[in-house]
A and B are shown apart, each in its own frame.
Chain A
Amino acid sequence: MRVRVLVRLKPGILDVQGAAVQKALAGLGFTEVTDLRVGKVIEVELQTATADAARARVGEMCRQLLANPVLEDYTIEMADDLARRGAVR
């Protein structure tokens, strides 16, 4: 089972990296960018019987290690969700 975790800073926490990237984009002429936040993607391959079980296990990983609850939010996407959305590679 392939699961993708998106970890990003919670709303309201200043994302200095995002601000720097936004500024750089503006310098390249992308002045229409009004907000930009940088996060990280963690791809997990695991063996579980069902997709729900995989989601539950990865949720536990996020709570225990993958995200810092003081700073970060996370969302969990199953490979199926990604296929449906036609994720750009």
Chain B
Amino acid sequence: MRFGVVVFPGTWSDCDFHYVISEVLHQPVKYVWHRERDLADLDCVVLPGGFSYGDYLRAGAVAGRSPVVEALRDFIARGGYVLGSCNGFQILCEAGLLPGALMRNECLQYRCQSTHLVVDNVETVFSRGLRPGRVLTMPISHGEGKYHADAEALRTLKAGNQIVFRYAEADGRVTRAANPNGSLENIAGIVNPEGTVLGLMPHPERAAETAMGSADGLLLFQSLLGSLVEDGSFLKR
């Protein structure tokens, strides 16, 4: 699978995703500059974390209107996969490629900590092969990660089984205490109705090697590559 990692001015998880994809997963990967519009030779585009344009107006606002993000609409329409983590999730919401918005953390402080995520939906290309209810450990690092959607949008998300990850306790219980930023219904990651565009606040690239404390983030990529068979029922494609 050919990966592209997008670089906006102010992006900083680009090198980390590039490293994990090339050095850990041994997949072809290249950087994609934010002004590029040609994504024809890619299968999956990664929007990494960081502070694109300083997040000075709103997190992800300016990047959400950049040429490369405009080009994503076509890319998605023709079946391409998009993974947006942290600032990448904020950008996807700002661009309207995912519903809702990410607001300032309820505690009003930046939060960098390990979190547990319970997997709600195993029917996306990023989570197929995972056991429903499986708990993953991944760090977060953000100041604006409180997911918000209005009642109608939330109903649609639920009806379409679009909520993929929720912040949980180590045993998978979704509790108020396990919610690090005040996200609506502990939402940590969602997909588009087709399940091909994933946005999540946690950092899978920081949990892709046991040396870094967790390799659970790798499961997302292995799922995407079709090589993950965790519950014995391997899905096609």
| Direct A–B contact in complex, judged by CB atoms less than 8 Å apart | yes
> Residue B148 at the A interface, CB < 8 A?
yes
Please choose the segment from A48-56, A61-69, A78-86 that sits at the chain B interface, where 4 or more of its residues have CB less than 8 A away.
A61-69
> Residue A28 at the B interface, CB < 8 A?
no
**Interface membership of chain B positions 95-118, coded 1 if the CB is closer than 8 angstroms to chain A and 0 otherwise:** 000001101101010000000000
Cβ-defined partner of B104 (8 Å) among A16, A64, A70: A16
Bound-complex Cα distance A68 to B93 (A): 10
Return chain A residues, CB-CB under 8 Å to B84.
none
Bound-complex Cα distance A36 to B88 (A): 31
Q: Which residue of A is nearest B182, CB measured? A: A16
- Report whether B57 and A66 are in contact in the complex, using a CB–CB cutoff of 8 Å: yes
- Report whether A71 and B148 are in contact in the complex, using a CB–CB cutoff of 8 Å: yes
> Residue B65 at the A interface, CB < 8 A?
yes
Bound-complex Cα distance A70 to B148 (A): 8
Q: Which residue of B is nearest A13, CB measured? A: B148
> Residue A31 at the B interface, CB < 8 A?
no
Bound-complex Cα distance A66 to B61 (A): 8
**Interface membership of chain B positions 43-84, coded 1 if the CB is closer than 8 angstroms to chain A and 0 otherwise:** 000000000000001100110010000000000000000000
> Residue B149 at the A interface, CB < 8 A?
yes
Listed from nearest, the 4 A-B pairs whose CB atoms lie closest are A70-B101, A71-B101, A16-B106, A68-B101
Listed A/B pairs (29) with beta-carbon separation below 8 Å: A13-B103, A13-B148, A14-B106, A16-B104, A16-B106, A16-B108, A16-B182, A17-B104, A17-B108, A20-B108, A64-B65, A65-B57, A65-B61, A65-B62, A65-B65, A66-B57, A68-B58, A68-B61, A68-B94, A68-B101, A70-B93, A70-B100, A70-B101, A70-B148, A70-B149, A70-B150, A71-B101, A71-B103, A71-B148
- Interface residues, chain A, with chain B CB atoms under 8 Å away: 13-14, 16-17, 20, 64-66, 68, 70-71
- Interface residues, chain B, with chain A CB atoms under 8 Å away: 57-58, 61-62, 65, 93-94, 100-101, 103-104, 106, 108, 148-150, 182
